[in-house]
């Protein structure tokens, strides 16, 4: 469902992403693992059509990233860590509706989908409260529902648990599992080894914009003769790998 071909991005002579290629299947969680500044966020922002690649392309559910960006946007859901990006004066429902309308959904489709997801994520008690009055965990739920209101085939998660408390982290993890069960192709970036081991079917380790290793965690542990993902990671991106 996601096929990435030689994707690169250069900012003022700095190669943030360097000839990246990988594939993600339906119902698969693909983890982009790397240190801060490795190129994870830049990669996801290109796949989300928020940044134009310097070279290379990707096919998102059969649509070309460069030639058909508007069609790509209809196929993806995005959940980034940090700020939720909600409008404080709008209610949770209005925030979700606004995004749904941008996706050309009908009023009937929007109402039915909000009702379904509000029940699924336990949002009935606050769905009509202003977003500015919601707790961080509630806002996270609104951001989650907003990201899948149009039932996208592909989900992009950029360190979605950044800054969240334990209960909110669990909500996000459960949501990612829910997306997998729905058969979505999921790309998930993180620098948390425990999170990656818990959620990902396959990982790609990025270092200085390059993909230095890829495969299931079991395959990579066997290949590099270790049972510890953190040790494997440091072997690939640490000083030993640099020399």
**Residue where a domain terminates, one of 151, 181, 199:** 151
**Are 170 and 214 in a shared domain?**
yes
Please report the pLDDT score of residue 240 as a whole number. 44
Per the CB < 8 A criterion, the answer to whether 185 and 154 are in contact is yes
What pLDDT was estimated at residue 11? 93
- Do residue 164 and residue 62 come from a single domain? yes
User: Is the domain of 139 the same as that of 53?
Assistant: no
The position carrying tokens 């960006």 is 69
Q: Could you tell me the two tokens for 74?
A: 């209809």
Neighbours of 120 (CB within 10 A): 14
Closest CA to 184 of 31, 46, 76, 43: 76
> Can you give the pLDDT at residue 239?
53
Residue whose entry in the numeric block shows the structure tokens 């909500």: 171
- Tell whether 236 and 189 lie within a shared domain: yes
Alpha-carbon gap, residue 233 to 63, rounded angstroms: 33
Same domain, 37 and 124: no
CA 14 to chain centre: 24
Please check whether residues 33 and 46 belong to one and the same domain. yes
> Which of left, alpha, beta for 228 (phi over 0: left; psi -120 to 50: alpha)?
beta
Q: What is the model's pLDDT at position 243?
A: 40
Total structural domains within the chain: 2
64 and 6 in a common domain: yes
Domain that holds residue 163: 2-75+152-242
120 and 236 part of one domain = no
Residue 169's pLDDT is what? 83
Calpha distance 110→99 (Å, rounded):
10
> Does residue 234 share a domain with residue 220?
yes
What pLDDT, on a 0 to 100 scale, did the predictor assign at position 140? 82
The segments of the chain whose pLDDT lies below 70 read 82-84, 239-243
* 157 plus 237 within the same structural domain: yes
Beta strands (DSSP E) in the chain are: 2-11, 14-24, 29-33, 55-60, 63-64, 76-80, 154-158, 185-190, 202-207, 210-215
- Distance, CA of 116 to chain centre: 22
In three-state secondary structure terms, 130 is: strand
Q: Does 9 share its domain with 94? A: no
């Amino acid at each position: 469902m996601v096929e990435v071909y030689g994707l690169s991005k250069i900012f003022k002579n700095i190669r943030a992403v360097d000839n990246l290629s990988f594939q993600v299947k339906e119902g698969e969680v693909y983890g982009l693992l790397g240190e801060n500044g490795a190129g994870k966020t830049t990669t996801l922002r290109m796949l989300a059509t928020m940044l134009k690649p310097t070279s290379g392309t990707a096919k998102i559910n059969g649509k070309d990233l460069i030639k058909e960006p508007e069609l790509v946007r209809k196929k993806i859901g995005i959940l980034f860590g940090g700020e939720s990006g909600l409008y404080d004066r709008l209610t949770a429902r209005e925030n979700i509706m606004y995004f749904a309308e941008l996706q050309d959904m009908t009023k009937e489709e929007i109402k039915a989908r909000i009702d379904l997801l509000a029940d699924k994520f336990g949002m009935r008690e606050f769905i009509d409260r202003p977003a500015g009055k919601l707790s961080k965990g509630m806002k996270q739920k609104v951001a989650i529902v907003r990201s899948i209101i149009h039932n996208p085939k592909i989900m992009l998660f950029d360190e979605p648990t950044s800054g969240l408390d334990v209960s909110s982290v669990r909500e996000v993890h459960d949501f990612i599992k829910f997306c997998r069960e729905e058969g979505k192709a999921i790309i998930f970036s993180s620098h948390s080894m425990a999170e990656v081991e818990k959620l990902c079917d396959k990982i790609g380790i990025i270092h200085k914009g390059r993909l230095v290793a890829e495969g299931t965690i079991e395959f990579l542990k066997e290949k590099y003769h270790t049972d510890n993902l953190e040790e494997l990671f440091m072997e690939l991106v640490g000083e030993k790998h640099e020399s």
